[in-house]
Structure 1
Amino acid sequence: MNKHHQKAPNELANNRKAHHDYKILATYEAGLALTGTEIKSVRAGRMNLRDGFVQFKHGELWLANVHISLYDQGNQFNHDPLRDRKLLLHKKEIRKISEELTQKGITVIPLKVYLKHGFAKVLIGVAEGKKQFDKRETIKRRDQDREMRRNLKNVLR
């Protein structure tokens, strides 16, 4: 595993595809309302953010389509792996995000999940989808930067 894909010590899940598919306009830290078996699976790092998104329902923000695997020792108290989970934010933040969601082409996606003071937090990003040519431009720029660093490193030797 190279250094770019290593997790931070408290990071539990990361949506690496998000920065490729979307231009992130703003980020917010939100708490997650989880059940007992869900938090145990999350702490074990058994979750997938890839297809997740945030919905605005009944004045609240909900994290949808995020898969949290079943807890092995959960027996009949286990949770539904794809259930919607409530995001815990301040009212001002919820109001601001809901206003941004009304704009065309704007979505809210989960970027990463991590532990902070023992609580699971999710970093959500207000994002705008990239077009195919934008993705190619990003890849091209990244390759040019990598080549420039490589050349600079060789010159300094």
Structure 2
Amino acid sequence: MPKGEGKVLAQNRKASHDYAIIDTLEAGMVLTGTEIKSIRGGKINLKDGYATIRNGEVFLQNVHISPFEQGNIFNHDPLRTRKLLLHKKQIAYLVNETKTTGVTLVPLKVYLKNGVAKVLIGLAKGKKNYDKREALKQKDVKREMDRALKER
């Protein structure tokens, strides 16, 4: 978890179930005025989102930000592609990782940091079905242990 992380506005809980998260990076987002107002209201869905790299730039795709209710003609397209703000070294690292190891870039959470919306991008490797079942078994065992300790 990055230092100074503020209020978490949205989380992608499904990502930790479907993927093994290898590494994370914090990135800024290029947003319109009505988008940031909707995000501050928590009207964002990361479930099917992913990031792509084109021409040395990183873009967030398939992330749904609901239109702002008082936005009228200034409202945005809910599923538009949004540019992510990263340093050149970070982008080079992401390019190298996606090309060599075959990982996916997945948004894990969106939060406010010093009044600015940030997205936590995870380098994720897909899990097989048996890996997912094993993770669920471990979670159940941990829950049972916690219950047993709580009852004592």
Q: TM-score, normalised to structure 2's length? A: 0.94
Output aligned runs, 1:34-113, within 5 Å: 34-103=31-100, 105-113=102-110
Letter of the structure 1 residue corresponding to residue 16 of structure 2: H
What 5-or-longer segments of structure 2 have no aligned partner?
none
Letter of the structure 2 residue corresponding to residue 99 of structure 1: N
Q: Hey, what does 1:21 align to over in structure 2?
A: 18
**8 Å CA contact 2:6, 2:112 repeated in 1:** no
Q: Hey, what does 2:133 align to over in structure 1?
A: 136
Q: 2: distance between equivalents of 1:40 and 1:116?
A: 15
* 2:146 aligned with 1:146: no
What 5-or-longer segments of structure 1 have no aligned partner?
1-7
Between the aligned residues of both structures, percent identity stands at: 59
- Root-mean-square deviation (Å): 1.3
- Is 144-153 or 82-91 further displaced after alignment? 144-153
Structure 1 residues 47-76: Cα deviation after superposition (integer angstroms, max 9, x where no partner): 100000000011000000000000111111
Letter of the structure 2 residue corresponding to residue 93 of structure 1: Q
Q: 2: distance between equivalents of 1:135 and 1:103?
A: 24
Alignment length, in residue pairs? Answer: 148
Selected match of 1:31 from 23, 28, 32: 28
Runs of 4+ in 1 over 3 A off after TM superposition: none
**8 Å CA contact 1:115, 1:121 repeated in 2:** yes
Query: Per the alignment, in what secondary structure is the counterpart of residue 17 of structure 1?
Result: helix
